[in-house]
Structure 1
Amino acid sequence: MPAQDTLQPVLDAAEVNELMNTAYPQLNGGEPLYVTTEVFPGGCTVRLNADERHLRPGNTVSGPSLFTLADIGGYACVLSHAGPDALSVTVNLNINFMRKAEAGPVDCHCRILKLGRSLMVFDADLVAGPDRHTVAHATGTYSIPPKPRNKG
């Protein structure tokens, strides 16, 4: 995914992970399940280390687990590019499932399409398996809380 030089991150992957673990500890429960692996200008990559708890019958990573991965990818993008305000929230998320994903790493490559003062729009390509095929594609919007006004 090409970098967008006009969108510079303000947090790196380690800082995003630390913020998520502090603000949203129930996501991983102390385990590295959903992890930001890379932050770059205009996007990020988030990984789900899918194990048996993420599987539905047929040894397939469940739709809710993949949906969560796409949502966490958007959250990592907004945190890393708009700033460390944990109160950013999902406004919309659409996902299309393409093919089966089995247990193991599933990577979500996110790209910011528009970053404004109050909204961020992104898309996500979720890839898995030895051939790294697309298993799902998502688009979403995050609301960015207003910055506090300086009184004076």
Structure 2
Amino acid sequence: MITLERAQKMIEVALAKGAEESWKPLTAVVLDAGGHIIAFARGDGAAPGRFDIARAKAYGAVMLGMGGKAQMARAEAQAYFMNAVNGIYGGQTCPVPGGVLIRDAEGGVIGAIGVTGDTSDNDADAALAGIEAAGFAGEA
């Protein structure tokens, strides 16, 4: 289970990684395994619409059981499938890097973090740094 404290740690480290690397301001959302929000933060200067993007990245990851990189590859190979999935989930997914699965010590999916604000690859790197700092394993 992802506690509030650990979710906040993931977000704190993800946003700090972006600041350390001089990336654009990041926004991060942590969801539980059911797709419910545990914690959220928008870095100083981040656009307000970034919340929805971060949530969609995380939501797609947790609902499909695959990270954003795998979702993007699937979208490129089978756009019709990912379009259908997005329709099924009411337009709530964003199949690009930055949506990262959070796995427990046994490898089970316990949630996801969505990070947005810079390049998608940098977003994913920030998410992975946060996950690791909280003691979990991530799958980008």
The normalised TM-score by structure 1 is: 0.29
More helix by share: 2
More strand by share: 1
Higher relative contact order (CA 8 A, sep 6+): 2
Larger radius of gyration: 1
